[in-house]
Structure 1
Amino acid sequence: MDTKEKEQYVFNRLCISDLQECIATLKLLDGLENDGLKLIVIKSAIVSYARPFKTNYGKYNKRLKQDAKSLIPSKYVAKHHEVMEYRDQFIAHTDISFRNPQLLNDSIGHGIGMHLPELQDLIELSQPLIDLCEHIRSELWIKVSKYI
């Protein structure tokens, strides 16, 4: 790659791959019975989905990321924000404000309790997330086709 245009084309193609990875990963849930494995699969899918929307570093375009506002229809905006919040506050970081931990017996040296998303809520997120990925992927293919 020797131009910004080529780099943007490649970035769009990589984003399509990330969305395809998210879809394929979520489809693995159907065959799983172990809740721990289900959680791992969902977390992996969320990371794949979020990758295009987080800052990525290029050689010519110093900061690359997809514009969610131009790619996501209004009916999916809340779902997109929910997924990105899970990625940012639950999966990629240990945000105390999200987990809301409480000291047991209100003292140091004892265990803690905390808020975590329910597995069933995360599982129910899978089909809307697949639908959203398919929509965004279609929009990105339109962008990519303009280069050809």
Structure 2
Amino acid sequence: MATGITQVVFDDPEAVKVEWLSRLDKLVGEVEGWARASGWRTRRIQKTINERQLGEYKAPVLLMEKDAIEVVLNPVARRVPGADGAVDLYLAPAYDDIASLYFEGDRWVVYRGKHPGPGETHGALEIEPRPYDERAMAEILEGMSTGG
């Protein structure tokens, strides 16, 4: 799936920052639209990120709320091992990870761990990534709003 955003080498940190912020704006806009269509209230805020090669910059954060459930789509960094950016999706205020989105190749993918049930002795198990799309995000958000 082509994104229309060109890959930028790290020789020009400002160009990388512009490319990354554009990618984040598109991601936040899509998730916000899908969340609203599913009955979630949304609000955007900004956070400051400081990366060694990119310096300090402001990035968009999406807050979503439905009933008493609050979920945050939170950018982590542009430079991450094995991907061209990472964004976490977590339950607030406990900061329990729900999923992580990584920009791999030319597209976003969603990694969602299966958390153990009561009485299980192992930690969260990571499952295979799945393509980022409206269906994947709707399933994750619906699971959060129903406690699943």
User: Do the structures match in fold with TM over 0.5?
Assistant: no
- Normalized per residue, which structure has more helix? 1
Larger radius of gyration: 1
The interval holding the TM-score normalised by the smaller chain is 0.3 to 0.5
- Normalized per residue, which structure has more strand? 2
Normalised to the residue count of structure 1, the TM-score between the two structures is: 0.33
Normalised to the residue count of structure 2, the TM-score between the two structures is: 0.33
